Amino acid sequence: MPRKSSPAAAPAPDAPVLPPTPPGLLDLFIAFAKMSLAGFGGVLVWARRGIVDQHRWMTADEFNETFALCHFLPGPNIVNLSVVFGARFRGIPGGVAAFAGLVFPPMVIAIALAALYARYGEIDALRRILAGVSCAAVGLLIAVVFKMAMPLAQRREVTALVILIAVFVAIGVLRLPLQMVLLVAIPLSLGITIFVRTRGKA
């Protein structure tokens, strides 16, 4: 009798595999230092790539939720993200390590560049180079916005996408004050989300 072949194992779903142990203090410092050094035009692009795609410390949804929280806190969004992210894994020391890695390397470079710009800033070629860099920065920002919106589009969360577009139109097109838009958008989005989820469970 021929042996029955064992059934082939079902392929594992394409879910991100999180690390078995959280990052240490040195890991946090080095990771955010690399993000800040690579983050020409903004660190958000490289933060998402490092946290979600490279190290897989967070899923795409977790990153979006954490960044949304940091966006509504006072201060620079990426700085808030570094502190919240580091504190999530290693408490207050983790927040300090991630913050130091994010801020210290570019601060040293910025001081050196500021001294050079003060001396050579009137050179026309330098101005054209900076204009080109600004265009690349806008492209990177648009790319990360699309990446962060993809989980909402894949789950077909129409309500979230409508709020996203409405906030963009209010701030980017109508030029309404950011504070006024947030005061309306935050409670409205929370209320709609709670209503939709409550209705779905009923």
Average pLDDT over the chain, rounded to an integer: 79
Query: 104: pLDDT confidence band, cut at 50, 70 and 90?
Result: very high
User: What residues have CB less than 8 Å from 72, skipping those under 6 apart?
Assistant: 182, 186
Give me the pLDDT at residue 40, please: 61
**Least-confidence region, from 16-30, 86-100, 160-174:** 16-30
Of 71-80, 109-118, 153-162, the poorest mean pLDDT is in: 153-162
Entry pTM: 0.57
Write down how long the chain is.
Answer: 202
Task: Note the pLDDT tens digit of each residue in 137-146.
Answer: 777 777 777 7
- Does the pLDDT at position 1 exceed 60? no
| Per-residue pLDDT band at 97 (split at 50, 70, 90) | very high
**In angstroms, what CA-CA distances link 122 with 85, 115, 116, 118?**
40, 13, 11, 9
Decide: residue 21, CB within 10 A, 0-12 exposed, 13-18 middle, 19+ buried: exposed
Average pLDDT, integer, range 54-75 = 85
- How confident is the model at residue 81, as a pLDDT? 92
* Contact predicate 151/62, CB 8 Å: no
